[in-house]
A and B are shown apart, each in its own frame.
Chain A
Amino acid sequence: MTNKLLAVTQKDLKLLYRDKGGFFFTFIFPIIMAVFFGSMMSGSGGIKGISLQVVDADQSVISKAFVDKLDAAAELKVVLSDEATARETVRKGKAAAYLILPKGFGEAKGNLFSGKTATVQLGVDPKRSAIKGLLQGVLMSYAAEDMQSAFTDTSKMSTQIDKSLAEVRQARDSGELGDNDKTDRLLDFLDNLQEMVATDSFNNTSNSNENSAGNTADENTSEENEFNGFQPLIIETQAITVNRDGPPSGYDVSFPQGILWGILGCLSAFSLSLVSERNQGTLSRLLVSSANRSTILAGKALACFLTIIFIAVSLLLLGKLVFGIQIRQPDLMVVSLVAIGFCFSGLMILFSVISKSEKAASGITWAAMMLMAMAGGGMIPLAFMPAWMTPVSQFSPVKWSILALEGPMWRQFSLIEMLPVVGVLFGIGLVSFLLGVRLFKWQSSST
C-alpha cells in the first residue's frame, strides 16, 4: 500500500519535472512574478473601495459630517470602529487602513482660521503602502472640499472670520503669539478677507483665493508652524505594529503571491495529469493493477503536496537570502505550509476527478484559478476588485493562503490568530479530497 502510493508519487513528480510547460508554470513563472512584482510594487493605479476603518473619537457634529462625507465617497468603504479594533483589523490585513479623528477635530476644523488645523491619524496596511499616498490625497481633497464650501458660503465665512479675528487679537494681546510681524500680517489678511466677503466680491475673485492658499501652503512648510490655517487637514501617518522595523518591502508582498502562482501552476499540472492518464489509458491500467483507487489518488495528492512545499520553501529561501524578506515565525510558517499544501492537494484531486477531458480540465482549473486568484487578492489587489467579489473572496483558498504566509512572515500573527486561517485551509483540503475520492469511486462503479 505505502510502496504503491510512493511509487505513484515518484512517477508523478518525474512526469511533472519532465513536462516543460508544467515545469515552467510551476517553478519558473512564480519566481519571475515574485521578483517582477516585488520591484514594481510601488506603482499603482486608480483606486476604489479602499476599506477604511474610521474611529470618531471627537463625536462632534463636524467630525460626524466628515465621516458621512467619507462614507459617501466612492473611493472608500468606511466601517466605524474603535481605536483598538481598527488597528487590529488593519494589522491582520482585513482592512486597508484606519483613520482616527481625535478629540478636538471638530473644533479645529470648524474654526477655519485659528492657529489650529484639524489633525487626523492614518494607519495603512504596509502591504498596501502603494495606496497610502492615494489615501492621503483622497482625505485631503474631501477636507479641502469642506473648506471651499465654507469659502463660497459667505455668511458662514463672515462669522468664521469674525471668530478668528477675535481669537487672534485676544492671543496677541495676551502675548501668546511671539512673532508680532506674522500675527499682524495674519490680522491684516483676515481684515481684508472680511472686507471682501462683506462686499460680496469674493465669489468673483477666485484667483486671489488660490494665491493666498498658495502662500500659506509655502509658509506651512517652514519650521515655524503656527500659521497653517489654510491647510485643510494635517494627516499624521502612524506605523502599523507589524511595521516597527520599517515597512516590509514589496518583496514581502510579492513573494507570497509568487508562491501562490506556483501553487496554482502545480494545481493545474496535476489536475491535467489525471485527465491525460484517463485519455492515455494508463489510468485503466492502474485500475486493473493491484493498486486501490484511493492509493492512486493519495499518491498523486502526495506528489502535489511535496511540489507545493518545494515551491514555497524555495521561494521563501530565495526571498530571504536575495531579497531580504522577513520570516519572523519560522515555526508557524511550517504549520502554514503544511496547511496550504494540504488544501491545494485536496483541491487538485477534486478538480482532476471532475474533469473528464483535457479541455475540461484546463478550463475548470483556469476558471477556478482566475476566480480564486482575483477573489483572493493574490494577483490583483483587493482594492481593484468589483464589489460583488469581496464576499466571494471569503471562500478563496488563495486569500487564506496568502494570509497564512504573511502571518508568520511579517503580520506577527499569534498561534491563536493563525488557527482559523490554518483551519479553513485544512477544511477546504479535506472536504475536496474526500469529495474527490468519493466521486472517483462512484464514477467507475456507474460505468
Chain B
Amino acid sequence: MPDILILDQISKQFDQRKVINQLSFSVKEGEIFGLLGPNGAGKTTLVNIMTGLLNAEHGRVTLFEKHAPGDNFARANIGLASQSLALYEDLTAEENLRFFGKMHALEKNALKTAVSQTLAVVGLEDRANQRVKEFSGGMKRRLNLAVAILHKPKLLILDEPTVGVDPQSRNAIMESIQTLSDQGHSIIYTTHYMEEVEKLCDRVAIIDKGQLVALDSVNGLLQTHGKSHRIRYSQDNKVITVDSDNPLQKIRELLNSEQQARISNLSVQSPTLEQVFLNLTGRELRD
C-alpha cells in the first residue's frame, strides 16, 4: 500500500516553546492510523499541520504522494472532524451539511444524496431539521463527523471524535468509523483513550511532549513494551494487585500457598497500551 501521508522531521513551536519536535511517520492508504497521546502532547497541532491550518517551522508534509497541505487537491480530498465542534449552532443539522457540502462543490442531486447518506451513517436522520444548539454533546459529535465525511474524502482526519460523549454515542461513532474504513477511507484517529485505539486502529503512533515515542501495530506495541500482566485479587476484604511478566507462574504460586482459602475474585489483565505508555514515558496516560 502506498503512503497517503508522510511527515518528515516536523517541528513546530509556539512562543519559543517547542510543541512538535522532529516528528516523522507515515500513514498507509486504507489503514486506520491511531495517534495516541495525553492532553497537550501535540496531537491537534499535528493535525493542523497536516491540513495546512498551521505551518511547521521545519520539516515537510507530503499528502497523496505529491501534494502539500492546503493545496486544492489536498483540501478536496481530506475530511476533518476537528476536536472543537465546528458547527453552526443556529442552523439545523441538514443546513450545516448542505452548507459544507456546497463548500466542497457538491451540487443538487449529489448533495442531496450525500446529506441523507451521511445522516444515516451517524444515525441522525430523525434530527435532520433540528437546530444544532438543541443537540446533546454526543449528537453534535456525530454531526461533526458527518460534516467531515460528506464529500467522501480519501483521507479522514478525526481529532478526538469521542471526547465528552455518552457511551451510546461513542459506540455509534466507533461503528461509523469502522464502516467508513470498510468503505475504503484512510483514517487518522487521534485520542487519549487507549481502548478506542486497541479496538479500531491498525497501527498506532504514541506521542508525548511533541515527540514520537513508539510506532507499531497494537499487538506489536503490546508485545514489545507491555511486558507485565496485572493480577488482581481480594484477600481479607482488601484488593491486591500484582504485576508479573509471568502471570501463570504467579497464579500457581498463589493457589499453592496457605493463603489460598482467603483469596477470592482473582482476575488477570493482559498488557494494555496504558501500561505501554507508562513503560515508555514513566507517566500515566490519563490526565
Contact = CB atoms under 8 A, between A and B. Distances in A.
Asked if A and B bind, the verdict is: yes
A281 B100 contact: no
A288 B99 contact: no
A285 B104 CA distance: 11
Interface in A1-53: 3-4, 7-8, 10-11, 14-15, 18-19
Given A4-B102, A14-B95, A290-B104, A285 B86 contact: yes
A281 to B, nearest CB: 4
Contact of B91 (A15, A281, A285, A287): A15
B88 A15 contact: yes
A446 B55 CA distance: 8
Given A289-B100, A290-B105, A282 B88 contact: yes
B120 interface: no
Contacts of A446: 55
Interface stretch (B30-38, B77-85, B162-170, B260-268): B77-85
A348 to B, nearest CB: 19
24 contacts: A3-B107, A7-B102, A11-B91, A14-B90, A14-B91, A15-B90, A18-B91, A280-B84, A280-B85, A280-B87, A281-B85, A281-B86, A282-B88, A284-B53, A285-B80, A285-B82, A285-B100, A287-B52, A289-B100, A289-B104, A290-B104, A290-B105, A291-B103, A446-B55
Interface in B54-69: 54-55
| Chain B residues touching A, majority SS | loop
A19 B90 contact: yes
B41 interface: no
B90 A18 contact: yes
Nearest to B86: A281
A288 B80 contact: yes
Contacts of A14: 90-91, 95
A288 B53 contact: yes
A207 interface: no
Contacts of A18: 90-91
B6 interface: no
B72 interface: yes
Nearest to B98: A7
A14 B95 CA distance: 10
A439 interface: no
Contact of B99 (A7, A281, A290): A7
B51 A288 contact: yes
A447 B54 contact: yes
A182 B87 CA distance: 90
B146 to A, nearest CB: 12
Nearest to B89: A280
Nearest to B133: A18
Given A281-B82, A288-B53, 4 more contacts: A4-B102, A10-B99, A14-B91, A14-B95
A286 interface: yes
Nearest to B76: A290
Chain A contact residues (Cβ within 8 angstroms of B): what range? 20 to 34
Nearest to A18: B90
A374 B55 CA distance: 43
A269 B156 CA distance: 34
A445 B53 CA distance: 9
Nearest to A296: B103
A284 B82 contact: yes
A289 B51 CA distance: 10
What 4 pairs across the A-B complex have the smallest Cβ distances?
A281-B86, A7-B102, A289-B103, A285-B86
B27 interface: no
Chain A contact residues: over half helix, strand or loop, or mixed? helix
B152 interface: no
A290 B104 CA distance: 5
B227 interface: no
Contacts of B82: 281, 284-285
Q: How large is the interface on B (under 10, 10 to 19, 20 to 34, 35 or more residues)?
A: 20 to 34
B209 interface: no
A447 B105 CA distance: 27
Interface string A431-447: 00000000000001111
Interface hub of A19, A282, A285, A446 (most chain B Cβ within 10 A)? A285
A7 to B, nearest CB: 4
Contacts of A284: 48, 53, 80, 82, 86
A4 B80 contact: no
Interface string B222-240: 0000000000000000000
B86 A280 contact: yes
A260 B80 CA distance: 41
B28 interface: no
Nearest to B91: A14
A244 B91 CA distance: 52
A316 B162 CA distance: 52
A444 B51 CA distance: 12
Contacts of A291: 103
A4 B99 CA distance: 9
B183 to A, nearest CB: 21
A289 B75 contact: yes
Contacts of A280: 84-89
A282 B75 CA distance: 15
Contacts of B55: 445-447
A257 B102 CA distance: 38
Contact of A11 (B54, B80, B85, B88): B88
A280 B90 CA distance: 12
B276 interface: no
A18 B89 CA distance: 10
Interface in B196-210: none
A281 B48 CA distance: 12
B147 interface: yes
B161 to A, nearest CB: 14
Contacts of A11: 88, 91, 95, 99
Interface in B1-60: 48, 51-55
Contacts of B75: 288-290
A288 B100 contact: no
Residue of A7, A280, A282, A284 contacting most chain B CB atoms (<10 Å): A282
Contact of A288 (B52, B90, B95, B102): B52
Contacts of A7: 99, 102-103
A198 to B, nearest CB: 88
A288 B150 CA distance: 13
A423 B179 CA distance: 58
Contacts of A15: 88, 90-91
Contact of B72 (A4, A282, A287, A290): A290
A19 B55 CA distance: 34
Nearest to A17: B90
A121 to B, nearest CB: 59
A14 B92 CA distance: 11
